[in-house]
Amino acid sequence: MDERPPVVVDPLSRDGGRRVMIHAERVGTAYSLFDVLEFLRRAGLPDEDRAIDDPELIEWRGGGPYDWNNAA
C-alpha cells in the first residue's frame, strides 16, 4: 500500500512558516509546533504531543517537528 499520512508539513519558507496540508487541503501556515497542533485539533485529529512523532499521521518535509526558524 502506498498510503500517505493525512498531514503534510512542508519545509520552512522564506518567512519562517511551514505550509500545512490535511487530507490534501491547505489549512494554513504554521510558525511553530503549537500552530501545527492547533490545525490538528481543528481537523479533529489527535493533537497530543506523541502525535507529532507519528509517521502515520504527519509527514515532516525539510525537517522535523522541532525545526523552526526562531531567528529574530
Specify the pLDDT at position 71. Answer: 47
Specify the pLDDT at position 69. Answer: 75
Specify the pLDDT at position 28. Answer: 98
CB count within 10 Å of CB 18 equals: 25
Specify the pLDDT at position 2. Answer: 54
Q: Which residue has the cell 512558516?
A: 17
Query: What are the per-10-residue average pLDDT scores of the chain (72 residues)?
Result: 84 95 97 94 84 92 88 44
Q: In DSSP terms, which residues pair with 20 in a beta bridge?
A: 9, 28
Question: Domains of the chain: which residue ranges?
Answer: 7-60
